[in-house]
Structure 1
Amino acid sequence: MTEENKLKFEIELQKLFNDFNLFENSYNFCVKHSLLIEEMILKSIKPLSFSCVMAAVGSFSRRELSPYSNIDLLFIFEDLKDAETKVKKCTDNLWDKNIKISYMIHELSDIKKYLTANIRVFTQFFETRFLVGNKELYNKWNNELFKTIESSDIEKLLYEYFNDVDARYDKYGKSSKILEPNVKFTGGGLRDIHSAEWMYSIKNKRLISSQNETTQTEVFFKELLSNGVINREAYKRLYESYEIILNTRNLLHLVEREKSDRLTFSLQGKVAEKIGYSLNNRKEIMYKYFEASTILNRFSKTMMKRYQQALSQKLSDYLSINLDDDFEIKGNILHFKGDRILSISDIMRAFYYKAMNRAFFETNLRTLIIQRIHLIEETKSLEATSSVFFRELLKLPANVGKTLLSMNDFGVLGVLFNEFKALNGFYQEGVYHKYTADEHSIIAIQNLEILNVQNSAEARIFKLLPAKDLLYMAVLLHDIGKTISITGHEIIGAEIASAIMQDLGYGQNEIEFVQFLIKHHLDMKKIALKKDLNNNEVLEDFASLFKSEIELDYLYLLSYADLISVNSMSWNNWKKEQLNKLYSETKNILVNNNSNINIQNLSDEELKSSVIENVYKGTKADVILKETEETVNIMLAVKRSEQILIRIFAGLILNNIVLQTGKLTIENSNIVFCEFNASNEVLKYGPIFKRRLSTIEKRIIESITEEKNLDNEVEKLAAKKIKEQKKSLARIDKIEIDFEDNAHYTEINIYSNYFTGLCYFLVKKMDLLGLTIHSFYITNTKSESTIKFSVLKNNNKKLQKSEYSFIRAELTEGIIAGYNI
């Protein structure tokens, strides 16, 4: 290349960079840029003869060169003798002409070597485009490339790509809604599509690169369309979304005048100015960016799921579990059995099953959901939906945040309640936030769920919450008012939340509670971090917000989740100490203020939380009796131990407690919680026999926690009571026992005549049979009892059907023996 040609090239390059009409189509810009670089290279090396191959690799091969992208070359030789010397003549010539290239030199035998040694180098081997040299050698290289790859290599390479994607996300962020993204490597960036292309090439043993004047990504999308992998609507979304991200990278290079892929806040303004927006109006640019990056990220995940499912072991249809008429699960893959268009209620059910079973959507189901959501968005059609499964999803013990993120990526949350759609991709200015408002809110829920496996102060409070779904709802909607105004968004958000929750079918008390949390979600942070916590007036004023201690628990966890989910620097030891101090001081004030409040004024959820919390903190057992007009409500919590249920029912008998209803659950894996509705009169259901409830509470606790054997005392008292009952019931004339097999336990349903001590004798018999009770439900009338036990054997396995007859006979014998004691 002569100096005249070099100058001409520089002029052409700057002319290209200044032609903003080209930026209306980033594909065209990149192709023209790549062609110009290619022309310059070929002219520069024209005097040299080539027995090897010079090929473009990387973005140069894809014809996707941004203004300051690396220009990567691959030199291929039959053997490497004198190869470095020959290449040096060429590369020196290019560098002399100010063509800044990087290069690799390889021979045919390197294909097999790097197949196992270095996946990134190997990837460049099949992402090449011929420039000049020995075409026969280039064809031989490509033929050898895929001939070398065995079926076992394909699986290994795909898993290496999966790991490479995870490593990239760990470094640059997996969310497609990071406010200062790396446009190439962050989730939803260009590399998501490149990775999908590489997996496609390996899986199908074919090159995607083309000698035509088009980008490799365009070729890839068209091939997926022609092969039926995507439909025309999906092709259009992908094409337009990739163009937006690619154009952002092109503009980013131009404003920085160097290779730069991190789209910082300051550069966002410069990019906006470059295409005619005001410096302060970058929100519109970023909203389009996040919309595009979400589509690319979702597609990348779909393709990876497709390959992962193809690699997984095929399970027999006999191993499918029917969840209902429309859905089944095979292994950990959720399938839709129908061939109709999904409704929103269907989609909600699918996400509920996905969360409940820790499942993945089968590829076709993913596609059906995406198509349905986009059809609703494009036509703006509304349909009547059932929100039951959404409410139930929030009550699940795990996978709530992960599932909500998935729902948001699919656009489901914006369809379910339109107000959230405005929050989707909402740009939060300044360096405080790392994520868009919608992403921040859902990540906050994920950070709360992590507390389930921790033992911090926050974790202990979280595990004792009686209704985590209301906390999740408050966290999900706490910033919903920002779409109208940042200032006062907590007040606006509380009103929007009310409308959303009414549409979702929540009760008025639940709505008002979530409104309270959203309305005050900024207060605790402001006071903890900006006020003097040694000032009693500050503390008393803050404490006056709360009607109960449990409201403080919820607001504390919302404040914690909000703070910790902003960015990596938003939560530190000082903030933690300040928030904890405000919580502790306020808790003490509320405890003192409420010490004289009648227990009758507290809700059942507050009572439940109280007894569980006391046991969690170290109390052996705790009982609260709440008197109503005709019954006594008993809340009982005790640490799980051998024969604890026997002692619980013994304690009830010894204190003349006649059960009407009862249920048991296991809380936090090691706390037994029982709730009973009872009369403390022995033989008839009438007005409560008035006695000091605190005395009964004390006696029940003593019966449960004392180590002495209670069998003789209990059986003696039971015999006395049964003798009286035999005046109206001479013998047991009804015993029915049946079994149900559910996903986790064996259910034993028992129907019998009622008599004092029935539950005591049953749990004692089950203990002798080696059965562990995980929950029960009891309903007693004057003459009959219905009891449902959920059990496992002591080895944590369910009962076999062959064991049902034996267990039935033993339990029947135990009931009769108890009655005849």
Structure 2
Amino acid sequence: MGHAAGDRGPGPHRRAGRRRAVSDAIAVSSSAGDAQDLVRAKAVLLQVGEGKRRLSPEALRTALVDLHDFWLSSRAASIGLTERAALVAVGALGRRELAPWSDLDLVLLHDGRKDVDRLADQLWYPLWDAGIGLDHSVRTPGQAVQVAATDLRAAFGLLEIRHIAGDPALTGTVQTAVRQAWRAGIRSRFDEIVEAAQGRWRKIGDVAHRVEPDLKNGHGGLRDIQLVDALAAAQLVDRPGGDVLEAQRLLLDVRTELHRLAGRARDVLRAQDADEVAAVLEIGDRFELARALSGAARAVAFSAETSLRSAKGALPRRGLAALRRSPVRRPLDSGVVEHAGEVALARDAAAPRDPALVLRVAATAARTGLPVAAGTLHRLADTAPELREPWPRDALGELLSLLGTGRPLVDVVEALDRTGLWGRLFPEWGAVRDLPPRDRAHVWTVDRHLVEATAQVARLTTRVARPDLLLVGTLLHDIGKGRGGDHSVVGESLAVQVGRRLGFTESDVTVLGAMVRHHLLLPHTATRRDLEDPATVTRVVETLDEAVRDGAPGAGGLLLDLLTALAEADSLATGPGVWSPWKKALIGDLSRRSRALMAGEPLPVPPEGTDDGIAAAVLADQRPQVRFVDEDTPATVLVAVPDARGSLAAAAGVLALHSLEVHAAELATTGEVAVFTFTVSPRFGGLPDPAVLRTALGRVLDGTLTLADALARKERDYAPAASTEPAAPPRVLWFDDEATGAVVLELRGTDRIGLLHRVAAALEGCDAELRWARVSTLGSSVVDSFCLAGPDGDGAIRTADRRRIEEAVLAAAG
């Protein structure tokens, strides 16, 4: 795992320090009559954190278990809990995994003692009075077995039973009976076990891929290890292997430190806590911690999934089922069969002599929707030969078949990756494996994002002439991340390397490299440049032609089509809301214009007089005018007002006040009238009545409606619930376009109702002329671009003016 604090065994000084800490705490808790002593003793352990005496997470858990065992056993002896009764621990205390603020899960067992109610009261009430979280029950052996047979969660707990005090024979009787009943009834309960696990995974999500993972309940969390242990107790699967136990150790260490940091029970690792937890565990920063947790959780998740499948095949058969023949091995492909609902190797499969077998198994699994048998994966990992360079044609064909399956690709690649097979196919994958994203819009680790994007692009292959290049280029488009430098430039050289290894021709390799090098060209240009300016489109076409100048004829057009499809798949795989109708329209428009220029066709000329007489109407009565000229989604609305400072901010604020999300703004001045062309979408419902917008805008301009107050109320009432993740500070970037002479300010920050209004007001306050704006909302984040002219109306903006504008924009966005 690479977390130093967990990798070091406790040396003699550490062990001595731990013993001193435990002895000090036990001395504090020596009075078994008052559970407040237990609370004070735990505080002693938690305060052993100054300087070199700090207990490691593992040592702290051990000390807490020893402390609670001591107090509970002392308390049990003092109240006469010795014969015909036993106090046992389940849950975290039973597993010796007690975190600082874990609840105590205790069971009082008895064989019919008449004073059992007294024993229970004298055990539970001191703990309740001390404010200690307690989950308790009182059972006879028969009742314990019965509740384990009817309540799955109770069954999992009783399988972990650990004796604390009283009659150990009674504890042993219950342990034996519960395990025997669990094994005997596992067949009838197996469907419930699977449904409960899968339901929890759907509800909570993956530990490996969430920004704020649930370390206990998420897919790949601690409860999944308990699931595997329960299946092992039924003698259906083996106990978790070394990689899972190491993963468990990291998950427990992080959860322990999270409790210690929060001062209360906490299973969800929030972003604002991750840096401090990482520092305590000597992992570096929250990104390194996220990467370590992702690897750990994937090991646990893979173990849980394969254990469920293996357990299903190992279920005992009774009655008529015992007389049925074993499942038939149904041929699926050369050397590949279906056996017991899984993809497996045929008996005559020649893994050492068949270089394409790994990919054929993977492609078959994805195509049929069946999982690959764990034994098959391990056999392939042990016996499959390395693919020679270049790959045989049938190996490349099986890879393309796999990549083209869409959603089933994700689980198959995960299985290959967990067993080392994917890394053997693509050694470059190691740098992006479990690599956390650096921006808030991305919801996946980089490796998972690449696979998700490939799954998305599979349905777009009919749009391009070379679906093979589209699939492979999408799989590799972010392969350069995690290595330092510009990931697009680094990725280009890696894509060329991979393309040659796969057996593509040199001209195809050139296109693959260009796809990776320029995969951001279309989205960045569409959202940061004026598409009406011919120089913008000319620059895109020249960039594409230059990138493939050594390729086959027509390679520029092919690259354009590939990048258009990749832009869509990349956005869809980034996170919710990133591929919006507006972004789709922008990239589609840029692609069509570029295609026209490549074909020698004239670019569309912006229509003149698009104000439809709206400027004349303003001049006639000096009142604002609002008209919808296109009511599709996104819609186009013209807003005309008497030209004055603050008019753009006023117009943008009124649109926000009426729940219109602005995607773009074009500005023009006709004499004494400012005409704004906004591209908008309603946040919910339909478009508002333009008369309502006109009235509100008039009130803003004459001072009877204060936009700042109205927008603050709107944000309070309608903004999404605040995230527990701290908002990233806004950031400003400057771009100088040599082709068009434009100066573009890009704002990256957190989305807020009325953000364009605030930024426009800040720009107008700095005497910066705004020519156009592009607004991109990426989930809860925004990337907004503003084309500016300086105070003198020319394109140049001096350094001092840039600093002043930047400060004003950041203040408005904060």
User: Do the structures match in fold with TM over 0.5?
Assistant: yes
Q: Work out whether 1:42 is the aligned partner of 2:112.
A: no
Q: Does 1:169 align with 2:201?
A: yes
Letter matched to residue 471 of structure 1: L
Q: Is the 8 A contact 2:214 2:269 kept in 1?
A: yes
Return the offset for 1:489. Answer: 1.3
Confirm or deny: 8 A CA contact 2:85 2:167 kept in the other structure. yes
Matches within 5 A, 1:338-737: 346-369=357-380, 386=391, 388-396=394-402, 397-398=404-405, 399-449=408-458, 452=459, 461-485=460-484, 488-532=486-530, 537-539=535-537, 541-542=539-540, 551-568=559-576, 570-571=577-578, 575-590=579-594, 592-593=596-597
The count of corresponding residues between Structure 1 and Structure 2 is 545
1:122 shift after superposition:
2.9
**Partner secondary structure for residue 299 of structure 1:** helix
TM-superposed deviation, 1:530 = 3.9
Q: In the alignment, residue 126 of structure 1 is paired with which amino acid?
A: L
* Matched letter for residue 565 of structure 2: L
Q: Does 1:253 align with 2:259?
A: yes
CA distance in 2, matches of 1:177, 1:518: 24
What is the alpha-carbon distance in structure 2 between the residues aligned to residue 18 and residue 243 of structure 1?
A: 23
- Percent identity over the alignment is 18
Q: Structure 1's 76 and 506: CA in aligned 2 closer, same or farther, altered over 3 A?
A: same
CA separation of 1:93/1:525 partners in 2, compared to 1, >3 Å: closer, same or farther? same
1:199 is the counterpart of 2:205: no
Q: Distance in 2 between matches of 1:447 and 1:8?
A: 56
Structure 1: which amino acid aligns with 2:476?
Answer: L
Q: Residues 328 and 339 of structure 2 are in contact (CA less than 8 Å); yes or no, is this contact kept in structure 1?
A: no
Matching residue within 73, 97, 100 for 2:106: 73
- Bigger shift: residues 29-38 or 112-121: 112-121
Contact between 1:34 and 1:65, CA under 8 Å: does it hold in 2?
yes
The answer on whether the counterparts of 2:183 and 2:234 sit within 8 Å (CA) in structure 1 is no
**Conserved 8 A contact 2:259-2:266:** yes
Say if 1:385 and 1:146 are closer, same or farther in 2 by CA, change over 3 A. Answer: farther
Rounded Cα–Cα distance in structure 2 between residues aligned with 1:519 and 1:240: 38
Give deviations 1:19-40, integer Å, cap 9, x for gaps. 978866x555433321211112
Contact 2:363 2:399 in 1 (8 A): yes
CA-CA distance at 1:247 after TM superposition = 1.8
The answer (yes or no) to whether the contact 1:395–1:468 under 8 Å persists in 2 is no
CA distance in 2, matches of 1:245, 1:371: 29
Alpha-carbon distance in 2 for matches of 1:318, 1:275: 51
Question: Are the aligned partners of 1:181 and 1:262 in contact in 2 as well (CA < 8 Å)?
Answer: yes
Q: Which residue of 1 aligns with 2:88?
A: 55
Partner of 1:708: none
Deviation for aligned residue 1:197: 0.6
Q: Does 1:237 align with 2:243?
A: yes
Counterpart of 2:63?
A: 32
TM-score by length of 1: 0.59
- C-alpha deviation, 1:501, in angstroms: 1.0
Alpha-carbon deviation of 1:479? 1.0
Is residue 499–residue 512 contact of structure 2 (8 Å, CA) maintained in 1?
no
Do the aligned partners of 1:190 and 1:245 also contact (CA within 8 Å) in 2? yes
Question: How far does residue 550 in structure 1 lie from its aligned partner after superposition?
Answer: 5.3
Tell me if structure 1 keeps the 8 A contact 2:531–2:537.
yes
Whether the 8 Å contact between 1:44 and 1:93 is mirrored in structure 2 is no
Whole-angstrom CA distance in 2 between matches of 1:463 and 1:81: 78
Aligned-pair distance for 1:577? 1.8
Distance 2:152 2:283 in 1: 42
Tell me the SS of whatever aligns to 2:378.
helix
Match of 2:279 in 1: 273
Query: In 2 relative to 1, CA 509–178 (structure 1 residues): closer, same or farther, beyond 3 Å?
Result: farther
Find the aligned partners of 1:47 and 1:567 in 2 and give their Cα distance.
59
Equivalences for residues 264-343 of structure 1 within 5 A: 264-276=270-282, 281-311=285-315, 319-321=329-331, 323-324=333-334, 326-330=335-339, 332-336=341-345, 337=347
SS in 2 for 1:76: strand
Cα distance, 1:150–1:240 mapped onto 2, change above 3 Å: closer
The SS at the match of 1:260 is coil
| Worse overlay, 529-538 or 265-274 | 529-538
Equivalent AA in structure 2 for residue 269 of structure 1: D
**Partner Cα distance (1:535, 1:80) in 2:** 90
Partners of 2:499 and 2:125 in 1: how far apart? 69
CA distance in 2, matches of 1:567, 1:237: 30
Give the partner amino acid of 2:225: I
Which structure is larger by alpha-carbon Rg, 1 or 2? 1
1:157 aligns with: 189
Contact 1:22 1:28 in 2 (8 A): no
The offset of 1:341, in angstroms, is 8.1
- Measured after TM superposition, the shift of residue 536 of structure 1 is 5.7
Structure 1 contact 539–585 (Cα < 8 Å) conserved: no
Is contact 1:178–1:435 with CA below 8 Å preserved after alignment?
Answer: yes
C-alpha separation in 2, matches of 1:292 and 1:194: 15
CA contact (8 A) 1:332 1:357 kept: no
C-alpha distance in structure 2 between counterparts of 1:6 and 1:318, whole Å: 60
**Residues 6 and 268 (structure 1), Cα distance of their counterparts in 2 relative to 1, 3 Å cut:** closer
Deviation, structure 1 residue 61: 0.6
Whole-angstrom CA distance in 1 between matches of 2:62 and 2:581? 56
Q: Secondary structure at the match of 1:187?
A: coil
Tell me the distance in 2 between the aligned counterparts of 1:295 and 1:413: 15
Partner-residue secondary structure (3-state), 2:234: helix
1:132 aligns with 2:136: no
